[in-house]
């Protein structure tokens, strides 16, 4: 069982200081002022954001969803995202950048152009990976092979919530490869921490992104959802309009 002693709470707060917390705010403001205006963002239900701790649960439609959602919170509040460690590998991210036509549609894949594309993809992956790693991310193994990593992640997430912080998660997993929610229990940390859940739906359009923030699911309701908590909460997320 995860403890919530003052020593552990102090440790969680200390993690949010420089350089990790600093990088979080740098990333937040870069996205807020240089990317969000270009994408266009409409937020509905911002008044539903609690002033205390909660687990933020959202659907996953684009690679930058996490950056989008941190901009809807007040500047002094931070989200610790649960992220698959495999997606934070430079090799993995390099392949993703290299294969995505929307990033480098003007650079071919053959000959010298292919070499340039690979170098640019590598540089972009290094920037992407380290900006995420230094932004209060909690790494998990979604394939559940590294039990020690997941145990540590669970403890850190629960301690963060018990200390009054915010943890964010995309239960579906990646944008392209969705998990079967009936077989997962990734939101079990909310039951362990006895914390409320804030459901959020992201609608990505050609012109503007819409973020719908639903009513908070109380800690009492969270605790009675059982092992189908992922499917139940994501059903609530999908129903938001």
**Collapsed DSSP state (helix, strand, coil) of residue 145:** coil
In 10 A of CB 185, how many CB atoms?
15
Phi and psi at residue 103, to the nearest 5°: -85, -45
| Per-residue pLDDT at 17 | 42
Helix (H) or strand (E) holding 98: helix 90-99
E strands, 76-181, are: 79-84, 138-140, 166-169
Q: CA–CA separation, 45 vs 201, rounded Å? A: 11
Q: CA–CA separation, 122 vs 89, rounded Å? A: 11
Residue 166 · residue 188 · CB < 8 Å: no
Residue 41 · residue 211 · CB < 8 Å: yes
Q: Give the tokens for residue 196.
A: 């409320």
The mean pLDDT values, 10 residues at a time, for the chain of 241 residues are 42 44 81 85 94 94 87 89 79 75 65 80 76 75 82 92 94 67 73 95 83 96 90 93 88
| 217 secondary structure, DSSP code | B
Asked if the bond preceding 19 is cis, omega within 30° of 0, the reply is yes
| Per-residue pLDDT at 102 | 59
**Collapsed DSSP state (helix, strand, coil) of residue 215:** coil
| Per-residue pLDDT at 177 | 55
Q: CA–CA separation, 205 vs 212, rounded Å? A: 13
Residue 122 · residue 104 · CB < 8 Å: no
Task: List pLDDT tens digits, range 97-120.
Answer: 777 765 566 676 777 777 888 888
- How many residues make up the chain in this entry? 241
CA pseudo-torsion sign 177, 201, 25, 100:
positive
Query: What residue has token string 């205390």?
Result: 52
**Collapsed DSSP state (helix, strand, coil) of residue 72:** coil
| 198 secondary structure, DSSP code | E
pTM for the whole structure = 0.78
Residue in 227, 200, 220, 215 with CA at minimum distance from that of residue 57: 200
The HSE-up count of residue 111 (CA atoms within 13 Å, CB side) is: 4
């Amino acid at each position: 069982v995860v403890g919530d002693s003052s020593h552990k709470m102090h440790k969680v707060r200390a993690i949010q200081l420089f350089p990790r917390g600093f990088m979080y705010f740098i990333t937040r403001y870069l996205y807020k002022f240089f990317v969000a205006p270009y994408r266009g963002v409409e937020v509905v239900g911002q008044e539903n954001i609690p002033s205390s701790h909660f687990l933020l649960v959202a659907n996953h439609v684009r690679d930058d969803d996490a950056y989008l959602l941190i901009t809807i919170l007040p500047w002094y509040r931070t989200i610790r995202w649960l992220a698959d460690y495999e997606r934070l590998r430079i090799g993995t991210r390099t392949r993703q950048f290299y294969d995505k036509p929307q990033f480098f549609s003007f650079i071919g894949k053959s000959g010298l152009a292919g070499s340039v594309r690979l170098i640019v993809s590598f540089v972009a992956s290094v920037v992407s990976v380290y900006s995420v790693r230094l932004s209060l991310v909690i790494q998990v193994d979604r394939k559940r092979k590294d039990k020690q990593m997941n145990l540590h992640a669970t403890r850190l997430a629960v301690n963060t919530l018990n200390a009054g912080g915010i943890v964010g998660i995309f239960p579906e997993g990646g944008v392209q490869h969705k998990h079967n929610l009936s077989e997962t229990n990734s939101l079990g940390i909310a039951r362990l921490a006895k914390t409320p859940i804030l459901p959020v739906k992201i609608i990505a359009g050609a012109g503007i992104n819409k973020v719908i923030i639903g009513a908070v699911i109380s800690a009492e309701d969270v605790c009675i959802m059982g092992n189908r908590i992922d499917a139940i909460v994501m059903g609530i997320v999908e129903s938001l309009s």
